[in-house]
A and B are shown apart, each in its own frame.
Chain A
Amino acid sequence: GQQVMQIPQYQHVQEGEDFTTYCNSSTTLSNIQWYKQRPGGHPVFLIQLVKSGEVKKQKRLTFQFGEAKKNSSLHITATQTTDVGTYFCVRASNTGKLIFGQGTTLQVKP
C-alpha cells in the first residue's frame, strides 16, 4: 500500500539517446525524492518535488510530479556515460522514513 513502483527495472541506451524512468504510487504522495547511485557507490540526493504538477530541471535532467501526486518521472536528455547508475524514486513518510522504489538501472553504451 505504501510502496512506490518504479519502471523499467533496467534500461540500456546508446549514448546520446534519451532516457525516462517512471514512479507510480497507488496512494497520493506528499512528496517524492529522487536519488542516484553510481555503480559501487552510495545513493546521492538529486531533487525533491512537493507540488502537484511540479517540474524541475537540472541541466539535462527533468523531474516531474503528476497532477494527482501519484506518479513522477525522471527524463534525461541526450544521455552520457556519466549518467550510468541506478535511479531511485523515494517517498518520505510523515515520520521521516524513506521508502525506496526498486530503482531503474541505466547503462549507456558509448
Chain B
Amino acid sequence: DADVTQTPRNRITKTGKRIMLECSQTKGHDRMYWYRQDPGLGLRLIYYSFDVKDINKGEISDGYSVSRQAQAKFSLSLESAIPNQTALYFCATSSTGAAWNEQFFGPGTRLTVL
C-alpha cells in the first residue's frame, strides 16, 4: 500500500477550467509539499505546509492555490488552467524535525491543459 497517494493520476482539461489535484498520506507526517516537474527543469516547489494551519508559497505559486484540509490531506487547485501549466505534479511529505529531512513523494499526476 502506497504511503503517499495522488488523485487523479492523469487528467486532460481545457483552458479556463478549474482543476483540483489531491494528495493523501498515511505516514503521519506534518509537512506536505506540492511540486511541478517540467522536462529539463527538475522539480520546482509550488506550495508547502508544515502543519494544518500553515501554508507557504514556493518559488512558482502564481496561478495555483492550496488547501490543507487535515494532517493527511493537501490539495492543489488551478483556478483557471492554462496550457503552460501542463506538467507532472508531485506531492511529497516529510517529518518534523531537522529542516532537511528526507521527503517521500507520491506517484505523480500528469496534467494536460489544452
> Which residues of A are at the interface with B, using a C-beta cutoff of 8 A?
9, 30-31, 33, 41-45, 48, 50, 88, 92-103
Contact = CB atoms under 8 A, between A and B. Distances in A.
A101 B100 contact: no
Contacts, number: 55
B106 A42 contact: yes
Nearest to B102: A45
B100 A31 contact: yes
B99 A94 contact: yes
Given A42-B105, A42-B108, A100 B43 contact: yes
Nearest to B108: A42
Given A42-B105, A88-B43, A96-B101, 9 more contacts: A9-B40, A42-B107, A43-B105, A45-B102, A45-B103, A92-B101, A96-B31, A96-B100, A102-B40
A41 B42 CA distance: 13
B101 A42 contact: no
A60 B68 CA distance: 40
Contacts of A95: 56, 99
B64 interface: no
B44 to A, nearest CB: 7
Contacts of A98: 33, 43, 45, 92, 103
A33 B105 CA distance: 14
